[in-house]
Amino acid sequence: MDVEHDIWTEKYRPKRLADVVGQEHVTKRLEAFIKTRSLPHCLFAGPAGSGKSTASMCIATELYGGAWRGNFLELNASDERGIDTVRNKIKDFARTVPLNGTFKIIFLDEADALTKDAQHALRRTMERYSATCRFILSANYSSRIIPPIQSRTAVFRFAPLKEQDIVDALRAVARQEKLTTEEKALATIFTLSDGDLRKAINILQAAAIIGTAVTNESVLSVTSRADPDATKKMLERALAGDFAAARETLRTLLYERGNAPEDIIKEIYSQCFTVKTEDRTKLVLLTTIGDYEFRLTEGSNPLLQLEALLAQICLLKQT
């Protein structure tokens, strides 16, 4: 199995809207537009890896079939974010006659990265070429899109994918690639992905390079994520007032497993919500973690700051 040149996120990208994972509330509305071939300008808003780009490509393939590439222009607004992009590339494509259809589709990925001037120029372009072109704008933060553009689009909000949706998709990929996967490994991939299916598949592919048996250890090794179980034990020991044991676990994470200090403190933050302690203690924990995370970003000594954090947590036992 050659995974080095095999990009699984493209290989397993759905070809139909009905196959887009976990966004039925969006795909049903879009299918109604496709059925009547009366697609409006659209704004796809939601977190990364939730299916926005895939949905736009599915719309094009269902409308135009094999000729979809001639009627579909994809631009990444974070790379081409200036007003010249709107004046040149977008206008040149929008003014040409559609092939095998009544309109073309321009997909602007990460449209929230467009400058304000570019967005105002885009607003006028959307009006002028609406007879021959439809715009689909994708944004992680719809609030960064100017109100005049939002008022000209139908807004579709994509939700973060649930654990079962991501795990089912990973199992389907694993079956096709003849991998064996541990349930704990799949759960860890979901935690690491933060609801981003693209990231989850990339993690699975990276772990598959080590071997066809994807384990929790192989997932943690390719992501450089601090071991959640070890971090939780360290936090529990600190909350119990056992500084020596917590410090020993910290040094294991830093020097034996090679975890970055920033990754460790992020994992401590994640484990705050899983440890059994009073809500008031968790509030103090979060405040303290925030202070020490800031110190790390400012360039303070990582070992000194992490040990000081554990000491502060141990002192909570005495209050």
List pLDDT tens digits, range 24-73: 999 999 999 998 888 899 999 999 889 999 999 999 999 888 888 888 98
Q: CA 148, CA 48: separation in Å to the nearest integer? A: 24
User: In the structure, what pLDDT confidence band is assigned to residue 2 with cuts at 50, 70 and 90?
Assistant: very low
Cβ contacts of 178-183, under 8 Å, gap ≥ 24: 178/1, 178/212, 179/204, 179/208, 179/212, 179/213, 179/214, 180/212, 180/213, 180/214, 181/213, 181/214, 182/214, 182/215, 182/216
Residue 318 pLDDT > 80, yes or no?
no
pLDDT at residue 4, as a whole number: 46
Secondary structure class of 3 (helix, strand, coil): coil
Could you tell me the sign of the dihedral formed by the alpha carbons of 39, 45, 50, 54, in that order? positive
- pLDDT range class, residue 160, cuts 50, 70, 90: confident
Question: How far apart (Å, rounded) are the C-alpha atoms in residues 259 and 227?
Answer: 9
Do residues 159 and 46 lie in contact, with contact meaning Cβ atoms separated by under 8 Å? yes
Q: Residue range 170-175: average pLDDT?
A: 94
Mapped onto helix, strand or coil, the DSSP state of residue 111 is helix
How much is the pLDDT for 84? 64
Helices (H), ranges, 38-108: 52-64, 83-85, 91-94
CB 73, CB 105: distance < 8 Å: yes
CB 45, CB 142: distance < 8 Å: yes
Q: What pLDDT was estimated at residue 123?
A: 87
What is the band of 86 on the pLDDT scale with cuts at 50, 70, 90? low
Domain 23-157 matching CATH 3.40.50.1980: the answer reads no
Single pTM value for the model: 0.77
pLDDT of 57 reads: 92
Q: What residue segments make up the domains of the chain, in order of their start?
A: 23-157, 163-223, 228-318
Separation of alpha carbons 95 and 73, rounded Å: 13
Q: What is the pLDDT of residues 225-256, one digit of tens each?
A: 888 889 999 999 999 999 999 999 999 999 88
Nearest CA to 312 among 279, 282, 289? 289
What value does the mean pLDDT take over residues 113-141? Answer: 87
* CATH architecture of the domain with range 163-223: Orthogonal Bundle (1.10)
CB 48 within 8 A of CB 160: no
- Give, in words, the CATH class of 228-318: mainly alpha
Give yes or no for a contact between 101 and 59, defined as CB atoms under 8 angstroms apart. Answer: no
Q: Are the C-beta atoms of residues 162 and 196 closer than 8 Å to each other?
A: no
